[in-house]
Chain A
Amino acid sequence: MTDEAIKTIDEKIKHSREREGKYLTFVLAGEEYGIGILKVREIIGMMTITTVPQTPLYVKGVINLRGKVIPVMDLRLKFSMAAMEYTERTCIIVVEITGPMRKIPMGILVDSVSEVLNIKATDIEETPNFGNKLETEYILGMAKTGGGVKILLDIDKVLNNEELTALERAA
């Protein structure tokens, strides 16, 4: 094997090692998704959201999290899925997104939270190429577990920098 090839393999192993770990899984339109547990600040039930004008549709508004005002986005709408009535299982997962300037706390609305899963590097597969149409940048990989395939999200990239900047400018 050439050095070059060994290097790529090494990097690949390193890459998958980095993704290994604990994930909080949740359901969105029947599919299971996962977010790295270290990104999650807390999970709270549905609460009244104050709508903020002139923001993209997926920004549902702001909530009062113990005296701090934080924005909430509906992940269904962000992923262009059909909107759904909120039920008692609807949850807000408060995550910390690494923005262009600093860390931004943000709530994401999901259908329901499932469990905490340990996902091994060997269980993670690269995101298949869906063709150019689909943005897959925010997918870390697909995890095969006993219960099926879970889509691991890179929550920092779900809102990419342009969108964060656009949100900042929001006009």
Chain B
Amino acid sequence: MDYEKISNLVDRMASDFLFLSSRELDIPTAGVFLNTLESILAVAGQLRLPPIQKVVTAVNHLLEQIIMDNVRDKTSGFDSFERGISLMQEIVRDYQQKEVCEHEDAVNRYIKNISDLTGYQPPGTLAAAEESAMPATEAPALKTVTPILQEQDEGLLRDFITESFEYIEQIEVNILNLEQNPEDKEFINAIFRPFHSIKGVASFLNLDTIRDLAHSLENLLDKARNGELQVTAAIIDVILDGADALKSLIVQVRDKLDGKTDAAEREDLTQLLERIHRLDKGLDLEPAPKLVGEILLDDGMITKDALKEGLKASADNPGKKLGETLISEGLATPKQVTRALRKQAEHISDTSTIRVDTRKLDDMIDMVGELVITQTMIQQDISNQLTTDRNLMRNIAQLFRITSGLQRATTSLRMIPIKQAFQRMSRLIRDLAKDSGKSITVELVGEDTEIDRNMVDEIYNPLVHLVRNAVDHGLEVPAARIAAGKDEKGVIKLKAYHRGGNIVIEISDDGGGLKPDKILKKALNNSLIQDGEALTEQEIYRLILLPGLSTAEKITDVSGRGVGMDVVKQAVDRLRGKIEISSSPGRGTTFTTSFPLTMAIIDGMIVKVGRQRYILPTTAIRQAIRPTRESCTNVVGKGELVSVMGALLPLMRLSELFTVQTDPKDPWESIVVVMEGNGRAKGLMVDEILGKAEVVIKSLGDALKNIKGIAGGAILGDGQIGLIIDTEGLFNLSESIS
């Protein structure tokens, strides 16, 4: 009979199973297995293979129960599934070799096991199918024929295969650790041991190719362990390739066992072995980080002779490093040496970073967030039970510390230094300087200040605008500078540092400073302010952030025409940032911008309306009040107004805007939060203020994006979702409704 088809199907299932990433079945994967089982059942029916049919039906049932979540003990469910697959493989192989099945007992045991687990009733249990009776009686007679030795060998081989896969997995995990800590003997050992074990068993089972490969890799690692070889990227590569080769060799062995004749061609290992050999002999080694002397020489900072002299002097003074000697001997300047040292450090640090898909990071941050929530819940449960188990309490407290550390660590993964953005800007300044005929020195301070990866791109544009402004309007032309008694060269300073939860970026120039009288005049002309308003200096400076005010007398192509600071202000607002201006005549201007470190987290106030909770961004809140009856007015047909500190503000009822079911209330029975956005202020009526919180902003998904008045969702302390209010959108919504 032709068993090829069924054997292929079963093998495919086994290999699918082998490649499962976790020891849990999700529904789609289980679905794929179910479909394969269906095909196996059909073929088994055609071939009349009752044992297979029985096992398939049982496995089928098991999977269905797993999908419906009726299997309490997930691990044993998964194990039973695994056993079912290997049982099918064994039965099919028997049929292929001997045209009979000798596993009747195993089949019955298996079915019994499934019924124990899921309450499974095999079809036709009562009607005892005559088909199954026949092989059951014949089987024991045939069993003795099987050569015992071969069976043992096969068992050993199978054990070896499973073990080896585990070993290789260990190797793969540890090699990644080793790559980060090449000096760590522990990690080398952790890789050495599995290779050693594979070698041992392989030589026992006469698997020569596997033994030889494992042996040579083991040798290589032994040398690394004894410090004879330095672990370099080349060595790590060759070990990984070796592990891959071992894996495919072992797969070949398994395929052979499974009776697959069309096993892939033998891989050519000579090349790999040759590579290992060369590394073993210390050839082909990757250059170790260059020595400081070499770097200096390469960059033409010092001559060969000078280096020789320095090396000699350094050898005489063992306590001193080469760099120090070079400086003290006057062979190189401190600047040159530090530069060379930095270069060396860059080379080393290159190898200690890995690139990770940001989606994976986000998933991890999500999971950690959930971990914190679950932990809080457990903690509450425990404290409700009035337990006095001090050990438990101590462990819980420890867990709390670990999870919060984990949370900090995961959020910091997204952070990168602002260095790159600063360097781009300083290049830009140099280009602009050339174009405008000014000569400028750029000073960068705090380049290592960290900020969210996504945030860097967002803040770049407004910052560039400020930089352009500083070059174009801030700094005077050289002639004017000399006349003012200043250095011909202007200075633009970019400075970054952390303050609170924010990153502060200062852009300052040592130019002529802002001219308050000019700004005032312009603002009056454009009727942005009324005559006679008493404004402080700060307020006057802030006028330049209003649309329609540009003090530039000359329109240049550097800073654009008319559009200017108001655009910057808008961009900064959108990023929930702040901007401050300070200036002193003749001494220069400083723009201090501050942004949240990440757009992923928002500082908010949790409010309650009906049974729903919403989060108002703190940056948009001016104050929260409980209005008096007298301060509220209802303008018929226009809407309600509330008077706050002398100003009449339109009143929005959140329950009406979002059609939340709540008992109708009067404003003086509720709380009014005064919200600001884009120069407008309105009162927002809510039932209750629940508190402040820092929450992670989550999108509501593709299906629910761009809902007016809602910026996203946040998972609150109890695991439920609160919606985050978008102030701008809410204002627009309230206007479109009334």
Contacts and interface: CB of A to CB of B under 8 A. Distances in A.
Contacts of B659: 53
A164 interface: yes
Contacts of B26: 41-42
Contacts of B31: 22, 36-38, 40
Contacts of A63: 721
A10 B506 CA distance: 72
A29 interface: no
A37 B67 CA distance: 10
A64 B701 contact: no
Contacts of A110: none
- Name B's interface SS: mixed
B513 to A, nearest CB: 47
A81 interface: no
Contacts of B703: 71, 97, 99, 104, 106, 159, 164, 167-168
A160 interface: no
Nearest to B368: A67
B722 interface: yes
A33 to B, nearest CB: 16
B51 interface: no
A42 B68 contact: no
Contacts, number: 130
A102 B27 contact: no
Given A38-B28, A62-B704, A53 B721 contact: no
A69 B721 contact: yes
B34 A22 contact: yes
A64 B35 CA distance: 31
B706 A170 contact: yes
Interface string B32-60: 10110010000000000000000000000
Interface string B591-624: 0000000000000000000001000000000000
Interface residues of B, number: 44
B67 A170 contact: no
Interface in B533-577: none
Contact of A53 (B63, B705, B710, B713): B710
Interface residues of A, number: 46
B704 to A, nearest CB: 5
A14 B700 CA distance: 38
B696 to A, nearest CB: 9
Nearest to B719: A64
Given A53-B657, A53-B658, A104-B702, A22 B27 contact: no
Contacts of B32: 38
A41 B28 contact: yes
Interface string A51-69: 1111100010011101111
A155 interface: no
A21 to B, nearest CB: 6
A90 B369 CA distance: 27
A51 B707 CA distance: 12
B366 interface: yes
Interface stretch (A112-120, A122-130, A145-153): A112-120
Contacts of A52: 700, 704, 707, 710, 723
A95 to B, nearest CB: 10
Nearest to A94: B27
A116 B31 CA distance: 9
B64 interface: yes
Contacts of A118: 34, 38
B69 A67 contact: no
A168 to B, nearest CB: 6
B658 A62 contact: no
Nearest to B30: A37
B116 to A, nearest CB: 21
Contacts of A169: 706
Interface of B: 26-28, 30-32, 34-35, 38, 63-64, 67-69, 366-367, 369-370, 612, 657-660, 698-710, 712-713, 715, 719-723
Given A62-B713, A69-B713, A116-B64, 18 more contacts: A37-B27, A40-B31, A42-B26, A43-B67, A59-B704, A66-B367, A67-B715, A71-B704, A99-B703, A102-B702, A104-B701, A104-B702, A115-B68, A116-B34, A116-B68, A118-B38, A159-B703, A170-B704
17 contacts: A24-B67, A41-B28, A43-B67, A48-B720, A52-B707, A55-B704, A66-B366, A66-B370, A67-B366, A69-B701, A71-B704, A99-B702, A99-B703, A102-B702, A106-B703, A116-B64, A170-B707
Interface of A: 21-22, 24, 36-43, 48, 50-55, 59, 62-64, 66-71, 97, 99, 101-102, 104-106, 113, 115-116, 118, 159, 164, 167-171
